[in-house]
Amino acid sequence: MDGFIEKISDELARLKSSGQFRTLRQTAVLSGGRAELDGRVYLNFSGNDYLGVAGDVELRREFYRRYADDLPLPAATGSRLLGGDTPAHEQLEATISRLYGASALVFNSGYHANIGILPALTGRDDAVFSDKLNHASIIDGLRLCECKFRRYPHLDYDRLEAMLDEAWKEGRRSFIVSESVFSMDGDTADIPRLIELKKRYHAVLVIDEAHSVGVRGRDGLGMCAGFTDDVDVIVGTFGKAFGSAGAYCVTSPPLRDYLINFMRPFIFSTALPPVVALWSDFVLNRTADFAARRRRLAAMGGRVRAAVAAAGLRTLGDSQIVPAIVGENAPALALAEKMRAAGLLVFAVRPPTVPAGSSRLRFSLSAALPEETPELIAEALK
Ligand SMILES: Cc1ncc(COP(=O)(O)O)c(C=O)c1O
């Protein structure tokens, strides 16, 4: 222990002086795209309740009414393979399979999915190519793979092709992993191009749709919903647009069986509480009904981007995630503070989450936000 606490304290002091120290802030999610923090109610741009499902009191009431006489279990009591494979989990997977027309497997979270899928599927001699801006959970998964992985520059598919070509010539099997809607820049992958590359190089394609499901594609099933034959593993999460918790993959029957047998976070963790699986199922069964919310969200994204650009800040992408790039940490923190003073709950996103020099405010929008939201943002950014 000698000197250990001093070492930790020095590291924390360094974080504080560079504006990177993180603290927990208790937040209550309310309806209408609002949240309460430290006794004050804000418009909430810091959550991922893209469709306003988590804050939808009526939907929640309907769910609890339906199960009022047969209260769902709050615990699965075991892993899926050891007593935790409840009817709720099977029901949820059956719903996902029906909606996508492919096999489905449910996981405890998107993080579990991403640290488990690639390490399970890859072998020592394989090669994995990952978009430079992929989420930290994907990177953590890559670190657990026995094979080599390389990151290609964000959305640079010519560079990716050169890497695939090299691996092909070395006789390695390649895996490509990308998000579809990127969580920090709010831009999107070119799925048809990735499929074309995957086919040309006989690679395995894994797409993380965390910020796309609920929001994009047929009935909000994500950008890959029409490509279940070509994308080997589609990962979706329930914790964002679907207002629940957990994750799933859509894949082929042999890959599903393989994951059940080899994916460590699936095997060695207590299954999701059945009540959560039933809520996810309840919401997923309504995804087709949320078309008006999706349209509203898309329109809001365009208007907020225009407000950010009009304030002289660079923005990126074309989704419900609207970054306002500030640059250094201190001005980004100051601007976030100013926004909060105006009643808008938005936080600065800083390195290491984003590259150095691109600290930003990240407006995560919701269909539940009031119509005048873009004008309120424009006013606060002035
Ligand atoms: C792209 C992406 N994948 C996976 C995850 C992790 O999902 P979960 O919150 O369900 O663990 C996140 C969470 O922020 C994410 O942004």
Q: Are 323 and 317 in contact (CB under 8 A)?
A: yes
Ligand 1 in reach of 235 Cβ (< 6 A): no
Provide mean pLDDT across the span 194-215.
98
- pLDDT, mean over the chain: 96
Q: Which residues are catalytic?
A: 48, 135, 179, 183, 208, 211, 240
Residue 22's pLDDT is what?
86
Ligand 1 in reach of 207 Cβ (< 6 A): no
**How many angstroms does the Cα of residue 113 sit away from the middle of ligand 1?**
9
Ligand 1 in reach of 185 Cβ (< 6 A): no
Residue with tokens 């797409």: 207
pLDDT (tens digit, 9 = 90+) per residue, 72-128?
999 999 999 999 999 999 999 999 999 999 999 999 999 999 999 999 999 999 999
**How many angstroms does the Cα of residue 216 sit away from the middle of ligand 1?**
17
List the beta bridge partners of residue 328. Answer: none
Atom of ligand 1 nearest to the CA of 238: 10
Residues 6+ apart with CB under 8 A from 154: 131, 132, 133, 182, 185
pLDDT (tens digit, 9 = 90+) per residue, 319-362?
999 999 999 999 999 999 999 999 999 999 988 888 899 999 99
Ligand 1 in reach of 242 Cβ (< 6 A): no
290 DSSP 8-state letter: G
Provide mean pLDDT across the span 34-50.
96
3-state helix, strand, coil in the chain (%, to 5): 40, 20, 40
pLDDT (tens digit, 9 = 90+) per residue, 233-284?
999 999 999 999 999 999 999 999 999 999 999 999 999 999 999 999 999 9
Structural domains of the chain in order of their starting residue, each with its CATH number: 15-56+291-381 (3.90.1150.10), 75-285 (3.40.640.10)
**How many angstroms does the Cα of residue 222 sit away from the middle of ligand 1?**
15
